[in-house]
Chain A
Amino acid sequence: MRHALRATSIAGLVALLMLPPEPAGAQIRASELGTMTQLIDGTKLSVTYSRPRARGRTRLFGNPVAQHWGEVWTPGANWATVFEVSKDITLNGRPVPKGKYSVWMVLRETGDWTTVLDPNWHIFHMEPPDSNAAQIRIATPISEAPYMDVLTWSMPELSAGGGMLTMQWGTTRASLKVGVTPSLEVTMPEAEARPYVGRYEYRAAKPAPGAPAVSVLIVTYENRTLKARWEPNDDYFQTFALIRVGPDIFAPGIYDKDGVVYEVLRPDMMFTFRRVAGRPVTFEVRLDDDALEATGTRKP
């Protein structure tokens, strides 16, 4: 009997120990915490916010008992939504210095809303800040979008120079156009670019199977930009920008169908020109592991 009792106790203890551990901080929240982070050309943006759900509510804005017109509202829940940016940017054309801000929106029935960034970033949603000189106020267009039950900050559009930051809840979307400071200058003064223009014999160090060992690289100057293309044409590169990143050192910038550079192959593929009597006459192409990819020699 005693043995049976002891066996039962031990079995119970073992069962207790085998229960899955519950996370210490687990709580069910109506508006769970979320983050959105995006890196654009070295500039990091993040939005940290509690995410309310519509839960069947059909009128999320302009509701006398919820987000009413004229209200200064944080686009989130609980503690105010926090926007942080690692470098200076613009939002809808307004300069926003790098820093951390609480985010507020002045809701209007017609016309743009106003997004307010307040350097005091730790504020509870029930206590919107009074207007002050440190705040940044941004006119924010509102549009209708496919229904979204959970309030969501996202960046549905991205480009080399920025993107579109949106807040959406229900069918209401607020849009903030982000502009970042480009890390590279694509254009180049003509007097500095002209010496590179010409035709170069391009000799691959290790030709790919089926590819010719020698081709021609044609360097031109168009639209204030030093450009190049291979002959015969390369399907991936097409005509690409030669973007100066150092003295006689260039990285290729690949254009999209709209003629905008969408990717710079740096440090992947670097063109380094060598001069004779002040004139660029040869170049080397090296990869990010410094392997020699090709050499070029100016053709007469």
Chain B
Amino acid sequence: MMNRRAFLSVAGAVGAGAFLDRPLRRVRSAAAVAMPMCGAERPTRHGPVVHPTPRKGITGAKVMTAAQLAKSAYLIPLFDGIRTIPEVADGIHCSCGCAELPGYYSLLSCYEGDAMATICPICQGAGRLAVRLHGEGKTLEQIRIAVDAQFG
């Protein structure tokens, strides 16, 4: 049987199809190793996640801009997407461990300032999921459930 290392570097034959045949897989693994706060010890996995209440009047004004993301251009659409749904991103708890950092409030925080989402695959994945589901008309509560199911 193919081991995980081989599995991660070679697409499966049938069912997995193109699964994991993406450079992002390696980025994710490297980032998770490099960042002790990020995914290594996710504190919420044994209990219900407590999501923050979106702050009144919250905006996406502090979300990193395209100019700030010049070195990571592939992230610009994601950050732009988060900027359009601050009231949703601000109501989601990020389970990568960044919630332990000072100044953190919500998933939106992962996209502001130093923006852990520039390097953390969990912040990125939760953000992408939130943007897509919001686009599909899902409520904040439904998005929270999906984020918890995958990343909580």
A interface, CB within 8 angstroms of B: 39, 41-42, 44, 86-87, 181, 183, 202, 204-209, 211-213, 215, 217, 229-230, 232-238, 245-247, 249, 251, 263, 266-270, 272, 285, 287-291, 293-294
Contacts and interface: CB of A to CB of B under 8 A. Distances in A.
Interface in B100-133: 121-122, 124-125, 128-129, 132
A213 to B, nearest CB: 8
Range of interface residues on B (Cβ < 8 Å): 35 or more
B80 interface: no
Contacts of A230: 14-15
B149 A246 contact: yes
A246 B4 CA distance: 25
A208 B14 CA distance: 8
Contacts of B7: 236
Contacts, number: 116
B28 interface: yes
B146 A207 contact: no
A111 B122 CA distance: 49
B151 A267 contact: yes
Contacts of A208: 11-13, 16-18, 21
Contacts of B2: 235-236
B40 A39 contact: yes
A235 to B, nearest CB: 6
A285 B132 CA distance: 14
A228 to B, nearest CB: 9
B68 interface: no
12 contacts: A42-B41, A208-B13, A208-B16, A209-B11, A211-B17, A236-B1, A237-B16, A246-B146, A247-B145, A249-B146, A289-B128, A290-B129
Contacts of B148: 246
A231 B127 CA distance: 34
B150 A206 contact: no
Nearest to B15: A230
B15 A237 contact: yes
Contacts of B71: none
Contacts of B70: none
A42 B17 contact: no
A293 B149 contact: no
Interface in B55-113: none
A42 B7 CA distance: 23
A237 B151 contact: no
Interface in B4-31: 4, 7, 11-22, 24, 28
B132 A290 contact: yes
Contacts of B124: 289
Contact of A289 (B11, B13, B125): B125
Given A42-B41, A246-B148, A288 B11 contact: no
Nearest to B7: A236
B42 to A, nearest CB: 6
Contact of A293 (B17, B28, B129, B151): B17
Contacts of A291: 22
A246 B13 contact: no
B46 A270 contact: no
A218 to B, nearest CB: 10
B45 A42 contact: yes
A266 B39 CA distance: 12
Contact of A183 (B1, B13, B46): B46
A271 to B, nearest CB: 10
B4 A267 contact: no
Contact of B17 (A41, A206, A267): A206
Contact of A42 (B20, B24, B42, B151): B42
Given A41-B45, A251-B150, A293-B19, 15 more contacts: A44-B41, A87-B46, A181-B46, A206-B21, A208-B16, A208-B21, A211-B14, A234-B12, A234-B13, A235-B13, A238-B1, A249-B146, A287-B22, A288-B28, A293-B17
Contact of A233 (B14, B19, B24): B14
B145 A246 contact: yes
Contacts of A42: 41-42, 45-46
A289 to B, nearest CB: 5
A238 B128 CA distance: 30
